[in-house]
């Protein structure tokens, strides 16, 4: 019977050893499950942040394209307004030039018709040709100007 006791003792030791191995494996499995749970949580968090960043990128990209389109339209509008203003100034200069020409011609015609010249005026000739030509040159420069050049000084 000694051998039966040895067998039982041996079986109990083996069972005890197996139970210890089982407990160690169970502890290791619990640890790995915990690590897996933590990694899964981190993955979900990173995935969520990635999706958020993609949405922000799309919004920023859309905003950039919207602003770029706005700036292009604004530049076109500003250029059109500058051209319109330049055209209006040219029309004003031409109208002013023709009014000055009209008044100078009326004055010269009036002086010719009256034939009266005061002695004080004889010292100053009433020939407005040079002044008129200078005004015409100035008006021509203004009418052709793009307003981007620096004025002559």
Q: What is the pLDDT of residues 13-53, one digit of tens each?
A: 888 888 888 999 999 999 999 999 999 999 999 999 999 99
Asked if pLDDT for residue 8 goes beyond 70, the answer is: yes
Judged against a pLDDT cut of 60, whether residue 126 lies above it is answered with: no
Span 87-112, average pLDDT? 86
Which residue has 């919004």 as its token pair?
59
Q: How confident is the model at residue 11 (pLDDT cuts 50, 70, 90)?
A: confident
Global pTM reads: 0.47
For 135, counting Cβ atoms within 10 Å of its Cβ (0-12 exposed, 13-18 middle, 19+ buried), the class is middle
pLDDT of 146 > 80? The answer is: no
* Whether residue 93 has pLDDT greater than 50: yes
The Cβ-side half-sphere exposure at 91, using a 13 Å CA radius, reads 6
Confidence (pLDDT) at 98: 86
E-strand ranges in the chain read: none
Distance in angstroms (rounded) separating the CA atoms of residues 120 and 136: 28
């Amino acid at each position: 019977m000694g051998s039966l006791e040895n067998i039982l003792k041996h079986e109990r030791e083996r069972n005890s050893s197996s139970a210890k191995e089982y407990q160690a494996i169970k502890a290791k499995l619990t640890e790995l499950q915990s690590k897996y749970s933590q990694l899964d949580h981190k993955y979900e968090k990173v995935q969520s942040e990635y999706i958020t960043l993609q949405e922000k990128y799309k919004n920023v990209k859309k905003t950039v394209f919207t602003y770029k389109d706005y700036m292009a339209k604004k530049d076109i509008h500003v250029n059109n307004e500058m051209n319109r203003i330049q055209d209006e100034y040219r029309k004003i200069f031409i109208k002013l030039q023709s009014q000055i020409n009209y008044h100078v011609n009326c004055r010269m015609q009036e002086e010719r018709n009256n034939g009266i010249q005061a002695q004080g005026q004889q010292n100053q000739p009433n020939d407005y040709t040079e002044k008129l030509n200078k005004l015409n040159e100035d008006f021509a420069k203004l009418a052709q100007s793009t307003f981007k050049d620096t004025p002559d000084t």
